[in-house]
Chain A
Amino acid sequence: MADNNNNNILTLKGVHFSYNDNREILSDINFYLPKGELLGIIGPNGSGKTTLLNVISGILKPKKGEISLLNQNLNKLPIEQIAKFISVVPQDTWVTFNFKTKEVVFMGRLPYISRLKGETLEDYQISREAMKKTHSLSLSENNIQEISGGERQRVFMAKALAQTPQLLLLDEFTSHLDLNYKYEMLNLLKKALNEEELTIISVFHDLNLASIASDRLLLLNEGKIEKIGTPQEVLTKEIIQKAYGVKPILISHPDLEVPQVIM
């Protein structure tokens, strides 16, 4: 996979980011993402994981460097255009007003809906399909403020899929999910990668889950890329100790043969 491969959905070149106080949150980020890959972003608290995700989604503009999405300069694309390519499952899933979950999922169709003409039957069908895939169809008549955090995350996942993106960004989406839903969601993502030609970037808090789920891992430390590569390449004793400051014990997952970190 060459760096300038046309198969890459996303390329970051020399990206720097800082808020107004000039302390660099991200410095010199370079990587590319081929279509169909699941890239896991890991790193200690405050290492810039969420900031990197926000820079990729276009919410934050880099101070230096260039991001290209499907060979177009991301920061020159209008946001309504970006919304057709990228969708995001956020960490914070609170909704101000008490919409039904099916109405929240339907909001994923907004980038495609004319404000004058309104939605079509197809928009409803895509939303319903997305709810089916995320096992949230049984919640469709419930109010969003009256379901659990884990259920809300599944609903937001459905909303992100209803947006029919090419690149899906996830910010610690498994944080409120029970074990069974965690693995079901992972299977769902794998399925989406294969069947819908989706590409995924996910921030993980849980290194072991990241190791199981990701094709490649990107380890951030103090705003810089410490290491990018396969889980075997990234999750080594030396690298983890450098980034997290603890001495881990590494074992290999008995079935999947990916590294697992135990303390």
Chain B
Amino acid sequence: MNKPLIENAGYTNWRKKLILMLLVGSLSILGVSLICLNFGVVPIHPKEIFSLLWGNSPDKTNSLIIWQLRAPRIVLGVITGAALSTVGGAFQGILRNPLADPYILGVSAGAALGACIGIALQHVTGYLFASYLPLFAFIGAMLSLYLVYKSSKISYSANSTGLLLAGVAITFLFSALITILLAISGKELQSMVFWLMGDLSAANWKKISIITLPAIIGCLLLFFSSLDLNALSLGEEEAIHLGINTGKLRIRIFLIGSIIIASVVSFTGLIGFVGLVIPHIARLLVGPDHRIMLPASAFLGGIFLILCDVLARTVIAPTEIPIGAITAIVGAPLFIYLLRRKNK
């Protein structure tokens, strides 16, 4: 075949772009994780951390701190940040709404209600079942997912506004119930509020082993819808003209995304802001093509969340600031700065 005059007819091969992005992303996330391991209440010398990672240090306490406290917290942070950002990006795509976040379709409100009911029951019955809270949250999330799905079908199923309105309505309903629970609660108020603001401090390997698989499989499924999400940004009808069943696509992304979010937030609580802002930052850096943008969001979200977590546990140590507050305090100015720079 003749060599074309312009390579790839002026297009960049997306596979090359993706591979480069995956490479840069993995290396940065590894680097940032190693740096984050150094922060904590107990000072441990970087050299010792290095030898601890290779498993040849005599110090049992430090080994425990690194392997059972700091490392799982970082891994949970990476998975949570990546999942929230990927789903946020995909939801912005199906709803054609840059203001969408992973919580907009109501799944988080369900999880929150479930968790608060769990905490309240614990107080009323006197049984301690803190370890079952994620189960309560997950059941709540599935309930809200079901309700949103059903009510969006009743109104206008082939329309993103229908899904959005159903999500907003269910969120309001569940939030009202949470408010009532908060109002009548006594001592358990603080645990409820902490759950609502998100928390990585209870990370352990068992939790990580439960959420890793759904998060990875879910994000891969979202990734394989990238081209359809691209087309949807031309408009609903345009996407149909390109042979895409937009109604089915929207329901598929909504279900996959919600299940990812339900399984993650059941363990971490509602960490806000990440899923809204990281996809935008990813778009500014790598462009809007979802095939590149979604994986880039995952990496950026992971890095962003573990950096925020370091701040959360060191700024006024030993007291921890809720990570949801840090993500907004750090993220909002960063986002505005990037937007301004882009518009110049």
Contact = CB atoms under 8 A, between A and B. Distances in A.
A81 B288 CA distance: 27
B243 A111 contact: yes
A110 B231 contact: yes
A115 B242 contact: no
A53 to B, nearest CB: 10
A90 B237 contact: yes
A110 B227 contact: yes
Contacts of B228: 110, 115
B127 interface: no
Contact of A121 (B9, B238, B242, B288): B9
Given A98-B288, A124-B8, A124-B10, A107 B243 contact: no
Interface string B270-298: 00000000000001000111000000000
Contacts of A98: 283, 288
B189 to A, nearest CB: 41
A118 interface: yes
Interface centre among A107, A115, A127 (most CB of B within 10 A): A107
Interface in A52-69: 54, 57-59
A88 B242 CA distance: 9
A19 interface: no
A110 B242 contact: yes
B8 A99 contact: no
A150 B231 CA distance: 21
Contact of B9 (A83, A95, A125, A163): A125
A58 to B, nearest CB: 8
Interface string B13-26: 01100000000000
A82 B243 CA distance: 7
A99 B241 contact: no
Contacts of A99: 230, 233, 287-289
A57 to B, nearest CB: 6
B245 A79 contact: yes
Contact of B4 (A58, A86, A108, A125): A125
A87 B241 contact: yes
Given A54-B237, A121-B9, A110 B15 contact: no
A164 to B, nearest CB: 12
Interface in A104-128: 104, 106-108, 110-111, 113, 115-116, 118-119, 121, 124-125, 127-128
B235 A92 contact: yes
A119 B97 CA distance: 27
Interface string A156-189: 0000000100000000000000000000000000
Contacts of B243: 79-84, 110-111
B244 interface: yes
A7 interface: no
B241 A95 contact: no
B105 to A, nearest CB: 17
Contacts of B232: 96
B8 A121 contact: yes
B100 to A, nearest CB: 11
Closest 7 CB pairs of A and B: A83-B243, A80-B243, A97-B288, A128-B9, A124-B9, A96-B233, A111-B243
Given A81-B243, A92-B235, A110-B231, 7 more contacts: A96-B232, A97-B233, A98-B288, A116-B224, A128-B6, A128-B9, A128-B11
Interface of B: 4, 6, 8-11, 14-15, 93, 96-98, 224-225, 227-228, 230-235, 237-238, 240-245, 283, 287-289
12 contacts: A79-B240, A87-B241, A96-B97, A97-B98, A98-B283, A98-B288, A99-B289, A107-B242, A110-B231, A116-B224, A125-B4, A125-B9
